[in-house]
Structure 1
């Protein structure tokens, strides 16, 4: 379902206040600074794609600031993947400055203050992804913040093409199809950023980082297998079991714990989708758990709530959002 806003809906003297409300509703609270123009021009189209959302933001030059005061009541962290189409954007977060021109995309983190600006009129595609959704597909997604990625070739170009080409068709889809489209966008995003050598950078050697990266991808691709043991993982990646355990020594979890964590996050993503109709037991079995009671215990220990509570909360939020004016 598309929601559209235009500053032209408001009187000229009310447009800046109107735009402030639109941005807060579409993304999260920000401080806005407008360039000195007689009247502000801007429009936003936004679509809900299950756990993620997509928007197209077209406006005159702007400065958006996220301050610590904006974070006080924020519970869920998100990442914004921004694709500029008309002019360069400048972004500062965590002491790092980056410029992102058309032909690239930028990753922003909601739980840290930042400044985002563009001097000239711009058109932005913005994919808003919950941190938990991204974390289920990319280890330590905080590494992505303030990085600009090439969107002119390979998987990066395919990701951006999908965003642009899917948007005109989203109104023709039902909720389930839009949710699936959103998941495919996140999968392509994960593949495109993982293809960048900077994402592999860590305290480990380049060889160890490459091996760990390959192991993580193998695990995510085979999470549904109930026999996904260290032995099968090592064999699938062409390394010894001993070396596999060595790779995870600095990850804060054993291999088996890391596998279980990935499974729990995939289940949580589905349970957090109010349009998901699979039973809790089916979800548990789909993601490699052989016993529902065991799954429920691990889930509550990890997330602090039961699977049923997560599902009920997601559906309550959907009802509340539908009742908003």
Structure 2
């Protein structure tokens, strides 16, 4: 089910307060400045996709500001990926200014002050992702913030096309499937980042971060390979094995730990699919685990339950084939 907020039917004198509360509920606290507060019109529809949420806003001209005082009241960090459809938007954060037109998207961090200006009537898609979830997929996702990205072609276009399909399809998807859908959106977002050369060249991406991005791209493309090794990764990325290990040590985990985490996440997604036909052993083998018993130990240590428990819970909560979801 979706949640909807709209100013229609709200008294003119109450609209600014109503919209500020709606925005805080959907994202986090912000200060709002209206072009015309009493005549302001807006609608916001929100879909929950596990830990991820997608929303669509249609509003009159407005400016959103995130200040330092807001940060102290909001301990959990999030990223917002905003896609304008009707008119350009202006975004300022961490000394960076971005003018993002329809056909692009911009990335915002909740844990730094910012100003987001939508001077004209506009329609926006906004994906809200916990920073902890972003960091499971991307090393130092902060480096992508305050940059505008193209969504007219390649992975960026696939990402935005998938956002637009969510409202048409999400009600027919079981809650466990919606969580998988949210994670798939993050995968497409990561792919869009990988394919944009500026993320390797911007001032937020020094040499080590650029190496890490290239390494992680190679690893994601080869997670199913049983022959993935430090030497093969180093050779593919033009680095020494020693430097490869050093890069991961500096980010607080080993190469092996990063690979195992990514593989466990993919296995968890497969096990949560109530229509999945592969056995647990087949899933583990496909994602690079050579020993099922070892996989089960790692999986339980990571998620607090066994692979079979996850599969049983997913299938038990899934409605019979042909039944409508609530």
CA distance in 1, matches of 2:72, 2:29: 11
Instruction: For residue 134 of structure 1, give the secondary structure of its aligned residue in structure 2.
Output: helix
Q: How many residues align?
A: 293
CA distance in 2, matches of 1:196, 1:124: 22
CA distance in 1, matches of 2:93, 2:253: 34
CA distance in 1, matches of 2:125, 2:66: 19
The answer as to 2:242 corresponding to 1:245 is yes
In structure 2, do the counterparts of structure 1 residues 163 and 135 end up closer, same or farther at CA, with 3 Å as the change threshold? same
- Matched-pair contact (CA < 8 Å) for 1:58–1:123: yes
CA distance in 2, matches of 1:284, 1:131: 27
Structure 2 residues without counterparts, runs of 5 or longer: 275-279, 306-326
CA distance in 2, matches of 1:59, 1:270: 40
Which residue number in structure 2 is paired with residue 312 of structure 1? none
- Matched-pair contact (CA < 8 Å) for 2:50–2:179: yes
Which residue number in structure 2 is paired with residue 99 of structure 1? 99
- Matched-pair contact (CA < 8 Å) for 1:134–1:141: yes
- Matched-pair contact (CA < 8 Å) for 2:16–2:38: no
In structure 2, do the counterparts of structure 1 residues 243 and 29 end up closer, same or farther at CA, with 3 Å as the change threshold? same
TM-score by length of 2: 0.77
- Matched-pair contact (CA < 8 Å) for 2:89–2:118: yes
Which residue number in structure 2 is paired with residue 45 of structure 1? 45
- Matched-pair contact (CA < 8 Å) for 1:271–1:307: no
1:3-33 CA distance string (max 9 Å, x none)? 1111114222211111111000000111111
Structure 1 residue 294 displacement after superposition: 6.5
In structure 2, do the counterparts of structure 1 residues 294 and 179 end up closer, same or farther at CA, with 3 Å as the change threshold? closer
Which residue number in structure 2 is paired with residue 13 of structure 1? 13
Which residue number in structure 2 is paired with residue 314 of structure 1? none
1:99-134 CA distance string (max 9 Å, x none)? 111111000001111111111111100001111222
In structure 2, do the counterparts of structure 1 residues 284 and 131 end up closer, same or farther at CA, with 3 Å as the change threshold? farther
- Matched-pair contact (CA < 8 Å) for 1:132–1:269: no
- Matched-pair contact (CA < 8 Å) for 2:84–2:124: yes
Structure 1 residue 225 displacement after superposition: 6.1
Which residue number in structure 2 is paired with residue 32 of structure 1? 32
CA distance in 2, matches of 1:144, 1:73: 24
Mean Cα deviation higher: 148-157 or 36-45: 36-45
Structure 1 residues without counterparts, runs of 5 or longer: 300-305, 309-325
Which residue number in structure 2 is paired with residue 260 of structure 1? 257
- Counting only pairs closer than 5 Å after superposition, residues 1-325 of structure 1 correspond to structure 2 as 1-36=1-36, 38-201=38-201, 202-204=205-207, 209=210, 212-223=212-223, 228-234=228-234, 237=236, 239=238, 243-253=240-250, 257-261=254-258, 263-264=260-261, 291=294, 307=304
- Matched-pair contact (CA < 8 Å) for 1:67–1:114: yes
TM-score by length of 1: 0.77
CA distance in 2, matches of 1:254, 1:245: 15
In structure 2, do the counterparts of structure 1 residues 294 and 152 end up closer, same or farther at CA, with 3 Å as the change threshold? closer
CA distance in 2, matches of 1:270, 1:43: 38
Structure 1 residue 82 displacement after superposition: 0.1
CA distance in 2, matches of 1:203, 1:121: 38
Structure 1 residue 181 displacement after superposition: 1.8
Superposed CA RMSD in Å reads 3.4
- Matched-pair contact (CA < 8 Å) for 2:149–2:156: yes
Structure 1 residue 172 displacement after superposition: 2.3
In structure 2, do the counterparts of structure 1 residues 60 and 263 end up closer, same or farther at CA, with 3 Å as the change threshold? farther
CA distance in 2, matches of 1:78, 1:109: 6
